[in-house]
């Protein structure tokens, strides 16, 4: 547990002087981005900078974020935590003490475990892509309901509906906080949906050669291999090995970036693979929708020939972080304040609000002990000719109600419920 020293107490007191009640019209308000911007986890971080910067630039083009009749320009400050707890804590302290950020976008997992005591004490709202990071002792941590574990819990049922004859589910992910917690919720859901879970293991973050890992998975003769929350670089290596070793079953995962996967395997091999991170240019959203507009603006700026060409296609992480930045901004506007307690009270009282994935409200107490997850519709995608396309949008609450007891019992058996941490 983080213990407040005399030094930290003094610094926190000085930081509190800048707490937004004190912000003046026209003042620039800093927001932070704390995540892996290098290394194997960078696929969860780097793309998120684009969506956040687009939102900030759109607001600043109007003079800044409009809060009760006054405009406040926004500025994003980034810190590469290299997906380590020590760097994450260093980054959180730097963002708060040196830059007085009012909000931090983060990836979550092990870094969140390291930063939450400090950020709770500092009263800074921060967002995770991992809703299992939410706990009652983290009152300023918020997460999107479009992220793990909700999206991982829905994929077993989708595969079963698509082909009821399938029965054998194999799942693997890395052995960090993200993989362990997310996989427990997925396995509980697979069991609740009637699957025989034939493989439920984790590989080391240090793994380079995935051939023996995949050999062990395939020895269980699975109908579906789920990569759960495997990091993007690991996903490519695992799917490449599935192809090399002659796997012919279905592939599923939290986030499967088709563009990078297709550098190693043919499109025919991943035809029908399932994940839950849609593309904003998917026809499902409809012309003129918020999603279609996001895709058009992203492509014009970061796509081929754009002024900031990223030399890659837009992917799911480009929009995922910005949802929580937008939600925080709505809370600020509703509260007429940047002060964390005011914003959190507003977010909990606002009810339904619009996001890039549709309308959602804060929920999550049944899973995490506190309603700090924005629960939006959950899309499920399949690869079609190498491109992800939305196949279903699931009402998670309606699905979870009849399955919750069995799922929670499994997660509790692993010691991973919020009240067991």
Query: DSSP readout, 132-177?
Result: GG--TT-TTEEEEEEEETHHHHHHHHHHHHH-TT--EEEEEEESSH
> Any idea which residue has 């993007």 for tokens?
232
Concatenated DSSP letters of 257-314: -HHHHTTTS-GGGGTT-EES---TT-GGG-TTSHHHHHHHHHHHHHSTTSTT--SS--
> Any idea which residue has 């480009």 for tokens?
318
CATH architecture of 151-280+380-420: 3-Layer(aba) Sandwich (3.40)
Instruction: Answer for the pair 121, 4: CB distance below 8 angstroms, yes or no.
Output: yes
| pLDDT value of position 278 | 84
Measuring CA to CA, how many Å separate 267 from each of 25, 239, 386, 387? 53, 12, 5, 9
C-alpha span between 24 and 16 (Å, rounded):
15
C-alpha span between 294 and 54 (Å, rounded):
9
| pLDDT value of position 400 | 94
Instruction: Answer for the pair 145, 134: CB distance below 8 angstroms, yes or no.
Output: no
Residues of the chain with CATH 3.40.50.2300: 6-149+295-379, 151-280+380-420
> Which uninterrupted H or E stretch holds 231?
none
| pLDDT value of position 18 | 43
Comparing CA positions, the residue from 19, 30, 123 lying closest to residue 78 is 30
| pLDDT value of position 2 | 36
C-alpha span between 94 and 101 (Å, rounded):
9
Residues 6+ apart with CB under 8 A from 391: 158, 380, 381, 382
Instruction: Answer for the pair 202, 180: CB distance below 8 angstroms, yes or no.
Output: yes
Dihedral (C-alpha) 353, 354, 357, 363: value to the nearest 10 degrees?
A: 0
| pLDDT value of position 22 | 57
At 212, list the tokens: 């023996």
Instruction: Answer for the pair 126, 115: CB distance below 8 angstroms, yes or no.
Output: yes
Instruction: Answer for the pair 142, 123: CB distance below 8 angstroms, yes or no.
Output: no
DSSP 40: T
Q: What CATH number has the domain spanning 6-149+295-379? A: 3.40.50.2300
| pLDDT value of position 418 | 93
Give me the tens of pLDDT residue by residue for the chain, a chain 421 residues long.
333 433 355 444 444 444 444 577 779 999 999 999 998 888 889 999 999 999 999 999 999 999 999 999 999 999 999 999 999 999 999 999 999 999 999 988 888 889 999 999 999 999 998 888 999 999 999 998 667 898 899 999 999 999 999 999 999 999 988 899 999 999 999 999 999 999 999 999 999 999 999 999 999 999 999 999 998 899 999 999 999 999 999 999 988 888 889 999 999 999 999 998 888 889 999 988 999 999 999 999 999 999 999 999 888 889 989 999 999 999 999 999 999 999 999 999 999 999 988 899 999 999 999 999 998 888 999 999 989 999 999 989 899 999 999 999 999 999 999 999 7
């Amino acid at each position: 547990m983080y213990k407040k020293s005399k030094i930290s107490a003094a610094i926190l007191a000085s930081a509190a002087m800048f707490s937004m009640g004190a912000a003046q019209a026209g003042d620039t308000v800093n927001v932070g981005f704390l995540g892996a911007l290098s290394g194997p986890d960078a696929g969860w971080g780097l793309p998120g900078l684009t969506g956040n910067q687009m939102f900030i630039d759109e607001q600043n083009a109007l003079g800044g974020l409009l809060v009760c009749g006054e405009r406040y320009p926004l500025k994003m400050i980034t810190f590469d935590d290299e997906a380590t707890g020590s760097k994450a804590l260093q980054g959180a302290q730097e963002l708060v003490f040196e830059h007085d950020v009012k909000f931090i976008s983060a990836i979550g997992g092990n870094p969140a475990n390291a930063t939450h005591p400090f950020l709770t004490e500092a009263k800074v709202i921060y967002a995770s892509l991992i809703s299992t990071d939410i706990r009652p002792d983290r009152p300023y941590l918020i997460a999107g309901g479009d992220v793990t574990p909700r999206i991982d819990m829905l994929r077993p049922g989708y595969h079963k509906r698509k082909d009821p004859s399938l029965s054998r589910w194999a799942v693997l992910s890395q052995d960090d906080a993200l993989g362990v917690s997310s996989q427990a919720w997925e396995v509980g859901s697979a069991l609740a949906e009637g699957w025989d879970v034939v493989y439920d293991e984790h590989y080391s973050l240090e793994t380079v050669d995935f051939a023996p890992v995949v050999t062990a998975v395939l020895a269980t003769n699975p109908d579906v291999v789920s990569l759960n929350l495997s990091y993007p670089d690991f996903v490519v290596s695992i799917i490449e090995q599935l192809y090399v070793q002659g796997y012919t079953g279905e592939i599923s995962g939290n986030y499967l970036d088709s563009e990078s996967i297709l550098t190693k395997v043919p499109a025919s091999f991943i035809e029908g693979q399932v994940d839950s991170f849609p593309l904003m240019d998917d026809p499902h959203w409809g012309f003129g929708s918020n999603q279609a507009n996001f895709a058009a603006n992203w492509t014009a700026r970061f796509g081929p020939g754009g002024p900031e060409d990223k030399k890659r296609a837009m992917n799911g992480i480009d929009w995922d972080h910005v949802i929580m930045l937008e939600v925080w901004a709505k809370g600020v506007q509703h509260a007429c304040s940047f002060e964390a307690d005011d914003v959190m009270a507003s977010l909990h009282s606002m009810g339904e609000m619009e996001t890039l994935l549709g309308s959602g409200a804060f929920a999550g107490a049944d899973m995490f002990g506190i309603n700090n997850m924005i629960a939006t519709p959950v899309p499920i995608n399949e690869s079609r000719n190498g491109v992800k396309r939305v196949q279903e949008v699931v009402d998670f609450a309606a699905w979870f109600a009849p399955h919750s007891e069995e799922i929670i019992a499994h997660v509790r058996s692993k010691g991973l419920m919020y009240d067991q941490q």
